[in-house]
């Protein structure tokens, strides 16, 4: 007998029937987050309100935590203020803050007023941090105990607050001023003899991150130390919240997206691409285009300075696109690889010597290969032995030069507290184009005059 294929009711139909189970099945059927977001965008105002009525505050809150904050805000925006406030109160504080930041100012103010005072104050504290910092990413829903308690007292305290915590894999030990003293695990609580003071099983010197640190630093530290949660502390050592392991994927995705956009010569978008206006895209791209336009003028200056040589040996012009293209491609490859390695914490400034040696060794081999290819290409075109030698030597030198520049700049910029992704592929290409052309024509003048 053939297996029966379960029929999934479309989300709109499930909403119309007020069938919570069917709604859950329809949402689960949309495997990708983008599919779910597209489906929610097609819902009418009445359907979105009906979705809330069926799922309730907690159910809708869980759903909104799974989608982009801007799309989640669009769903909340059509709900009555009191209902939107109730939904936000059911969400994790860090997710609620992300969604709240996407709401219109007037609507956000009304919702904040309608929330419970404690929940509203918690949200305000999170919103005070820039969204790309550890403080902006943390959740204040953690558990802590006093070092003066014993095992039984600590367990009793945890039972009372466990439902409000993001995770209780770690229990933090704090003093009366909330300064972080140490950490203990549930295993220690369970297997330690009754009556044991908490101070005896506390592990001091907890790995933590400052609330002002970049979110990428926090994610990297959490991954490197293989932690389930990372405490976020103030400058005076007070624990303010935690960043959990499930936040890492989102942080890495966001940082990787920003790096890719910068590598392409564009400032990162602050909202989903399809929601961005053409004017926003212009503002994000025009700065780098103007910078590259000005930098590209250097190429024209080089050509003008060597105009007599080009007039004398017209064949030199044939290979300009080939040679400057080689430099740009090599530079882009090195930059992309290095920025990624820096992003995941594999490389730092202290490794600059190793990086330069590795890229130099690689570039030498590539230079020999491309020099041979350049000589063969020139010989095939029949431009003469002297021009072929110029092309071959230039190809090798440009490869070495491009690799060196592309290996150094990202590390230097990181040391200067600049985002290494700013060393974008277009910038590297433009820089190497101008200098590569200068190298080519200088080598040509030297070799041809010698011959």
Q: Which two structure tokens, joined as six digits, stand for 386?
A: 């002297």
Q: Which is more confidently placed, 339 or 291?
A: 339
Query: Which ranges of 306-351 would DSSP assign to H, the alpha helix?
Result: 307-312, 320-343
Say how far apart CA 267 and CA 258 lie, in whole Å: 8
Specify the fold of 264-450.
Tetracycline Repressor; domain 2 (1.10.357)
For residues 137 and 166, the answer to whether their CB atoms sit within 8 Å is: no
Kindly report which listed range (49-58, 139-148, 201-210, 290-299) carries the lowest average pLDDT score: 290-299
User: Mean pLDDT over all residues of the chain?
Assistant: 79
Complete DSSP assignment for 115-168: S-HHHHHHHHHHHTS-TTBHHHH-BS---EE-TT-BHHHHHHHHHHHGGG-S--
Worst-scoring range by mean pLDDT, 52-61, 230-239, 262-271? 262-271
Distance CA 64, CA 172 (A): 29
Tell whether the model's pLDDT for residue 3 goes beyond 50: no
List for the chain the helix, strand, coil content (%; round to 5).
Answer: 70, 10, 25
Give the model's pLDDT for residue 302: 64
Q: Looking at domain 144-252, does it have CATH number 3.10.580.10?
A: yes
Strands 144-145 and 239-244: unpaired
Three-state SS sequence of 158-173: HHHHHHHCCCCCEEEE
pLDDT tens, residue by residue, 125-144: 888 888 888 898 888 878 88
What is the distance between the alpha carbons of residues 114 and 105, in angstroms, rounded to a whole number? 14
Which of 30-34, 40-44, 107-111, 152-156 holds the top average pLDDT?
107-111
Q: What is the mean pLDDT of residues 140-162?
A: 82
The answer, yes or no, to whether residue 12 has pLDDT greater than 60, is yes
In angstroms, the CA 170 to CA 149 distance is 16
Residues whose CB falls within 8 Å of the CB of residue 386, separated by 6 or more in sequence, listed in order: 447, 448, 451
Q: Are 73 and 95 in contact (CB under 8 A)?
A: no
CB 143 within 8 A of CB 172: yes
In this predicted model, what pLDDT tens digit does every residue of 60-113 receive, in sequence order?
888 888 888 888 888 898 899 999 999 999 888 888 888 898 888 788 889 999
Query: CA torsion 207→210→216→217, rounded to 10°?
Result: -50
pLDDT confidence band for 368 (50 / 70 / 90): very high
Residue owning tokens 């802590």: 144
CATH topology agreement for domains 144-252 and 264-450: no
Percent of the chain exceeding pLDDT 70 equals 78
**Tokens 């230039």 identify what position?**
394
pLDDT at 41: 79
Residue 5 has what pLDDT?
40
Task: Provide the b/e sequence for 328-358 (b: ≥16 CB within 10 Å).
Answer: bbbbbbbbbebbbebbeeebeeeebeebbee
3-state secondary structure of 241: strand
pLDDT of residue 234: 93
Q: Report the pLDDT value the prediction gives residue 53, as an integer from 0 to 100.
A: 87
* From 42-56, 96-110, 220-234, 240-254, the region with the lowest mean pLDDT: 240-254
pLDDT category of residue 276 using cuts at 50, 70 and 90: low
Q: How far apart are CA 175 and CA 178, in angstroms?
A: 5
Is the pLDDT assigned to residue 31 strictly greater than 60?
A: no
Q: How confident is the model at residue 397 (pLDDT cuts 50, 70, 90)?
A: very high
**Token representation of residue 352:** 């600059």
pLDDT at 33 over 80: no
Average pLDDT over residues 4-33: 70
Q: How confident is the model at residue 266 (pLDDT cuts 50, 70, 90)?
A: low
**Could you tell me the residue ranges of all domains in the chain?**
11-128, 144-252, 264-450
CATH class of 11-128: mainly alpha
Q: For the purposes of burial, counting CB atoms within 10 Å of the CB of 42, is it exposed (0-12), middle (13-18) or buried (19 or more)?
A: exposed
CB 430 within 8 A of CB 325: no
- Distance (Å, whole) CA 307 – CA 444: 13
Angle at 317 between CA 404 and CA 399, to 5 degrees: 15
- 389 or 165, higher pLDDT: 389
Question: Integer distance in angstroms from the first to the last C-alpha of the chain?
Answer: 86
């Amino acid at each position: 007998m053939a297996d029966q294929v379960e029929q999934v009711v479309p989300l709109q139909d499930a909403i119309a029937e007020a069938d919570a189970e069917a709604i859950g099945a329809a949402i689960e059927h949309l495997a990708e987050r983008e599919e779910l977001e597209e489906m929610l965008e097609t819902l009418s105002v009445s359907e979105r309100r009906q979705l809330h009525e069926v799922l309730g505050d907690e159910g809708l809150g869980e759903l909104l935590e799974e989608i982009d904050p801007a799309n989640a805000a669009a769903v909340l925006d059509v709900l009555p203020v009191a209902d939107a406030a109730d939904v936000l109160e059911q969400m994790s504080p860090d997710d609620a803050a992300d969604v709240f930041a996407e709401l219109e100012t007037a609507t956000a103010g009304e919702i904040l007023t309608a929330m419970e005072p404690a929940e509203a104050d918690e949200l305000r504290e999170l919103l005070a941090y820039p969204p790309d910092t550890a403080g902006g990413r943390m959740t204040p829903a953690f558990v802590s105990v006093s070092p003066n308690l014993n095992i039984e007292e600590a367990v009793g305290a945890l039972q009372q607050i466990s439902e409000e915590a993001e995770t209780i894999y770690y229990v933090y030990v704090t003093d009366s001023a909330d300064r972080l003293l140490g950490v203990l695990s549930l295993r220690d609580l369970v297997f330690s003899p009754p009556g044991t003071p908490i101070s005896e099983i506390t592990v001091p010197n907890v790995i933590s991150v400052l609330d002002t640190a970049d979110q990428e630093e926090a994610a990297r530290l959490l991954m490197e130390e293989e932690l389930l949660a990372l405490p976020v502390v103030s400058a005076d050592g007070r624990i303010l919240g935690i960043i959990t392991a499930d936040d890492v994927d989102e942080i890495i995705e966001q940082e990787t997206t920003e790096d890719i956009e910068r590598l392409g010569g564009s400032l990162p978008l602050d909202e989903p691409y399809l929601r961005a206006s053409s004017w926003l895209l212009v503002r994000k791209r025009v700065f780098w285009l103007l910078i590259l336009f000005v930098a590209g003028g250097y190429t024209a200056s080089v050509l003008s300075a060597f105009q007599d040589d080009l007039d004398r040996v017209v064949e030199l012009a044939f290979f300009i696109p080939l040679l400057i293209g080689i430099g740009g491609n090599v530079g882009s490859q090195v930059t992309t690889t290095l920025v990624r390695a820096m992003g995941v914490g594999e490389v730092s400034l202290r490794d600059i010597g190793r990086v330069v040696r590795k890229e130099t060794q690689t570039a030498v081999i590539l230079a020999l290969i491309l020099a041979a290819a350049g000589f063969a290409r020139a010989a095939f075109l029949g431009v003469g032995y002297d021009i072929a030698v110029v092309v071959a030597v230039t190809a090798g030198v440009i490869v070495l030069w491009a690799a060196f520049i592309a290996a150094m700049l990202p590390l230097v910029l990181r040391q200067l507290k600049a985002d290494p992704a700013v060393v974008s592929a277009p910038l590297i290409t433009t820089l190497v184009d101008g200098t590569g052309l200068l190298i080519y024509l200088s080598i040509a003048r030297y070799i041809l005059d010698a011959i």
